[in-house]
Structure 1
Amino acid sequence: MLDVRRILLFAEVARRGSVTATARALNYTPSAVSQQVSRLETEAGQPLLDRHARGVTLTDAGRALADRGERIARELKAAESELADFAGLRAGTLRIGTFPTVGASLLPPAVIAFRDTHPDVRLTVRSARIAGLWSMLESREIEMSLMWDYDWCRIDREDVDITPLLDDPPALLVGDRHPLATRTDATLADFADDSWITRADRHPVAEALVRSCRAVGFEPQIAYEAHDYQEAQGLVAAGLGVALAPTLALEGIRPGVSVLPLRPPAPVRRILLVRMADHALTPTAGAFLGSLRESAAARRTDAPDAGGRAVVPDPRSGS
């Protein structure tokens, strides 16, 4: 087996035309360079240099090997340059996963900030339900993913690394003609006699609603199962019922709907960034995590007010 380091040294000898000049350039002794060339000749099984008083000349085999050495040196320099580009965020691709409410709220400012700072990195985003995000993480289709959990369904896997980003408290959506629409906040118990609009297809928010209502002593009466929050808002505005929604789902509130911050107890979900533990955090991923943290800090809605309640801004106010 040929030693690559000796091949590179031999290419340097061929380039400079003598062992002495090579030793001087690389801060070696001539004896050390000669020994390495002799060992390379042993590995090659034939002479590579013709030695004479005026220096050395290459044999045909030596000339062929020196050409290979030059190519290896060029490839190594190219590899170093590419790695420097990745480390300096001047190249590469970052693949991340998300889910709809975060994809429409927390993620866009992070994407804008990241692309403004690192325009040469290609960013791809995949959106899916939780099961799909786990599948893409495990198959390495994505490097990391935004996810969520609640108190009763914490992500508890030893093979993942979790970075909490934001607590996302819920709010109540009520029609403007509802008797409590002018309240500044409310509790779930205030709506024990109301009909509810919830999410269809066993959506996590539907489970959060049922668990939370039962915790305060009533069973929610479901009037409609919506497939997205805009559909739910339309029926809230029509007066069919009231609805529970995470704050991050309230990017666009339609006319006829009022948003009431919900006093505890309330089912707060955590917004997380998750990656497989055996997938090291690359410089690119680390930079994007920084952008997400800045976006989360700008949107954080869990600061308590003077009464100890979570402050949920009305999206129509621009706050």
Structure 2
Amino acid sequence: MLDVRRVLLLAEVARRGSVTATARALNYTPSAVSQQISRLEAEVGQPLLERHARGVTLTDAGRALVDRGERIERELTAAENELADFAGLRAGTLRVGTFPTVGASLLPPAVIAFKEAHPGIRLTVRSSRIAGLWRMLENREIELSLMWDYDWCRIDRDDATVTPLLDDPPALLVGDRHPLARRRSAALAQLADDAWITRADNHPVAEALTRSCRAVGFEPQIAYEAHDYQEAQAMVAAGIGVALAPTLALDGVRPGVKVLPLRPRTAVRRILLVRMTDHALTHAAQAFAELLRRSAASRGA
């Protein structure tokens, strides 16, 4: 079996162009470097360097071996960085993922507390839809992510560890002149004849609305497809129709809109903290996860 240290030494000689320059950089003697390269040539049974007055050049076999050695170096560097993460020694960056409604509600208190407690760690947050969050987790672009699921689309992956944080039931949005506006709650069946504002582009909340309405015996009449919850609220205030929105999306309610809890609750989504099972959380990520749990607990209280 090849000696990996000698392969890496050959790669260093190739980069520096001479045995002498390599010896100087690594604080070796030139004869020690030459001796190790000679032993490597003996191991492979063919010359790897062509020596001349101005330095060295690689043979074809030497170039092939150096290419492999450079790959090994990259893998070793990646391993060192990953181990530093595990030990909590990389004070540099914690990378987390989120999605818009949680990014505007549950996440900010945890971010503020984390930055106050760990000012030396750079926290970066990436917001995306579920498919994008999965891609970033799988590529290790983020270490953990906030996600969501419903009863009919549970996250169930053997390679992921899922921690539920809280339930996020939808609420009913009606205009302040709607017949139900003065009620303390509403039943979905009471809205069978209303026009509905839903989310565009096959948004999950649109599916939640359709499933919920069908469960109580009617098909929602869609009057408007909004691209975000503020747009949906504007259309509710204007009297275009009524809407469902997750509770976490309602931190800011515009004038002219009344928010009513649904009784009984329907289409409750779970807010989750997700990581890849084979990637143990760093100390920084563990601390951040605990702050997210506290933020969720304060919401659920």
TM over 0.5: yes
Match of 2:145 in 1: 145
Alignment deviations for residues 276-313 of structure 1 (CA, whole Å, 9 cap, x no partner): 11101111110000010010011116xxxxxxxxxxxx
Can you give the 5+ residue segments of structure 2 that lack an aligned partner in the other structure? Answer: 6-35, 37-79
SS in 2 for 1:272: strand
Report 1:200-219 matches (<5 A).
Answer: 200-219=200-219
Any conservation in 2 of the 1:86–1:92 contact (CA below 8 Å)? no
TM-aligned CA deviation for residue 139 of structure 1: 1.0
Between the aligned partners of 2:87 and 2:133, the Cα distance in structure 1 is 27
Report 1:124-203 matches (<5 A).
Answer: 124-203=124-203
| Runs (4+) off by over 6 Å | none
Letter in 1 for 2:238: A
Between the aligned partners of 1:199 and 1:146, the Cα distance in structure 2 is 21
2:240 equivalent to 1:240: yes
Between the aligned partners of 1:86 and 1:274, the Cα distance in structure 2 is 17
Between the aligned partners of 1:113 and 1:166, the Cα distance in structure 2 is 19
Any conservation in 1 of the 2:88–2:282 contact (CA below 8 Å)? no
What TM-score, normalized by structure 1, do the two folds share? Answer: 0.67
SS in 1 for 2:286: helix
Instruction: Call closer, same or farther: CA 1:265–1:167 in 2, change over 3 Å.
Output: closer
Between the aligned partners of 2:92 and 2:283, the Cα distance in structure 1 is 10
SS in 2 for 1:244: strand
Alignment deviations for residues 15-61 of structure 1 (CA, whole Å, 9 cap, x no partner): xxxxxxxxxxxxxxxxxxxxxxxxxxxxx9xxxxxxxxxxxxxxxxx
Between the aligned partners of 2:151 and 2:264, the Cα distance in structure 1 is 14
Match of 2:251 in 1: 251
SS in 2 for 1:260: strand
Can you give the 5+ residue segments of structure 1 that lack an aligned partner in the other structure? Answer: 4-43, 45-78, 302-319
Any conservation in 2 of the 1:90–1:118 contact (CA below 8 Å)? no
Between the aligned partners of 1:205 and 1:270, the Cα distance in structure 2 is 13
What TM-score, normalized by structure 2, do the two folds share? Answer: 0.71
Report 1:4-83 matches (<5 A).
Answer: none
SS in 2 for 1:219: coil
Instruction: Call closer, same or farther: CA 1:211–1:181 in 2, change over 3 Å.
Output: same
Match of 1:116 in 2: 116
TM-aligned CA deviation for residue 259 of structure 1: 0.3
Match of 2:286 in 1: 286
Instruction: Call closer, same or farther: CA 1:207–1:258 in 2, change over 3 Å.
Output: same
Any conservation in 2 of the 1:89–1:284 contact (CA below 8 Å)? no
Letter in 2 for 1:159: D
Letter in 1 for 2:159: D
Match of 2:16 in 1: none
Structure having the higher Rg: 1
Match of 2:231 in 1: 231
Letter in 2 for 1:102: V
Between the aligned partners of 1:254 and 1:267, the Cα distance in structure 2 is 24
SS in 2 for 1:148: strand
Alignment deviations for residues 154-179 of structure 1 (CA, whole Å, 9 cap, x no partner): 00100001111110011000000001
TM-aligned CA deviation for residue 145 of structure 1: 0.7
TM-aligned CA deviation for residue 265 of structure 1: 4.2
TM-aligned CA deviation for residue 88 of structure 1: 6.4
Q: Cα RMSD between the aligned structures? A: 2.1
Letter in 2 for 1:283: H
Letter in 1 for 2:235: L
Letter in 1 for 2:150: Y
SS in 2 for 1:162: strand
Any conservation in 2 of the 1:90–1:120 contact (CA below 8 Å)? no
TM-aligned CA deviation for residue 92 of structure 1: 2.9
Any conservation in 2 of the 1:197–1:225 contact (CA below 8 Å)? yes
Between the aligned partners of 1:180 and 1:266, the Cα distance in structure 2 is 18
Between the aligned partners of 1:151 and 1:137, the Cα distance in structure 2 is 23
Between the aligned partners of 2:170 and 2:264, the Cα distance in structure 1 is 10
Match of 1:270 in 2: 270
SS in 2 for 1:243: strand
Any conservation in 2 of the 1:212–1:266 contact (CA below 8 Å)? yes
Match of 2:102 in 1: 102
Q: Which moved more, 1:199-208 or 1:138-147?
A: 138-147
Between the aligned partners of 1:157 and 1:88, the Cα distance in structure 2 is 27
Between the aligned partners of 2:277 and 2:179, the Cα distance in structure 1 is 50
Any conservation in 2 of the 1:212–1:265 contact (CA below 8 Å)? no
Between the aligned partners of 1:206 and 1:91, the Cα distance in structure 2 is 42
